[in-house]
Copies of this chain bind each other. A is one copy, B any other.
Amino acid sequence: MRIGVVAPGGPVAPGLETRLAAVVAALPPHARPEIRFHPQCFAASGHFAGDDALRAQAFLDVANDARFDAVWFARGGYGSFRLIETVLPRLGAAARGKIYLGYSDVGALLGALYGAGIGCCAHGPMPIDLDRPGGEAAALRALAFLAGDDAALEPAAARHAPAAAFNITILCHLIGTPWLPDLAGHALVLEEVNEPMYRIDRALGQIAGVPAIRRAAGILLGRCGAIVPNDPDFGQGEDEVARFWCARSGIPYLGRADIGHDADNKVVRFGVW
């Protein structure tokens, strides 16, 4: 298994590559993947890990290289949406046979790849999760998943397949663009972080108001972490708000899912593999 790491949003520090190598070195020899960080991961241009052209080229370098089995996104931040329109038409045959793994901002690109039927997309841990307490377990879970271990999968999403998982805000910003995949019949698995409740409510209201999304099989709600205090108190938690919008829209509410911006984040496969 050869894994290429690129950063379509924000950059990572060079030390991350070394720390990930140490995690891999602790695996049994037969289970050790070869992991290559593209130098672009460490570039910086304002907010981004290099300008749009550099980030797009790095992604294409790895996605179009048949020697890599998987593209593992180094981290989120913001920036993958800016690449979609230019990279999609430039992905060749080698890009179609790969796994693409990440979450958060990277969900924009995963959604677009899934919509275009390119590769096998999955929502799950990234190298940057090594910065979290317990992050080694998240990295190992991602590696186990890439090696084919279904124990890494989020169980409710696996049971309700086909599924697709997104950060709530990132999904909102895909809506109405040509890069929102067809989610009819899917369990839509959603998570959020660092937003006040009124924004979570507002975002779920949009999602539930989209006619195409009303054809989803249902919503599975992941964790909404580090909710920013609402002034005045919103009066409802994320579970009540999700139930409200599901009832309003007729989308079945399927309960909670074990994903989120944290070390416990399980893997959700987009579609049926």
Interface residues of A (CB under 8 A from B): 44-47, 78, 81-82, 85, 172-180, 197-199, 201-203, 205-206, 209-213, 230, 232-236, 248
Contact = CB atoms under 8 A, between A and B. Distances in A.
A177 B78 contact: no
A239 to B, nearest CB: 15
Question: Would you list the 9 A-B pairs with minimal beta carbon distance, nearest first?
Answer: A46-B235, A175-B176, A177-B209, A176-B176, A176-B210, A173-B206, A78-B198, A47-B234, A81-B205
A206 B78 CA distance: 13
A29 to B, nearest CB: 40
Nearest to A248: B85
A209 B175 contact: no
Contact of A82 (B81, B82, B205, B212): B205
Given A46-B235, A174-B206, A175-B175, 9 more contacts: A45-B235, A47-B197, A47-B232, A81-B202, A85-B248, A173-B203, A173-B205, A176-B209, A176-B210
A203 B170 CA distance: 10
A206 B174 CA distance: 7
Nearest to A245: B82
Contact of A230 (B47, B82, B176, B198): B47
Contacts of A209: 81, 85, 176-179
B47 A78 contact: no
Contacts of A233: 46-47
A59 to B, nearest CB: 17
23 contacts: A46-B233, A46-B234, A46-B235, A46-B236, A47-B232, A47-B235, A78-B201, A78-B202, A81-B205, A82-B201, A82-B205, A172-B173, A173-B202, A175-B175, A176-B180, A176-B206, A176-B213, A177-B206, A177-B209, A177-B210, A178-B209, A178-B211, A179-B209
A204 B12 CA distance: 26
Contacts of A205: 81-82, 173
A206 B80 CA distance: 12
Contacts of A180: 176
Given A82-B205, A85-B248, A205-B82, A47 B176 contact: no
A233 B46 CA distance: 6
A177 to B, nearest CB: 4
A139 to B, nearest CB: 25
A101 to B, nearest CB: 22
Contacts of A206: 81, 172-177
Contacts of A199: 78
A197 B46 CA distance: 11
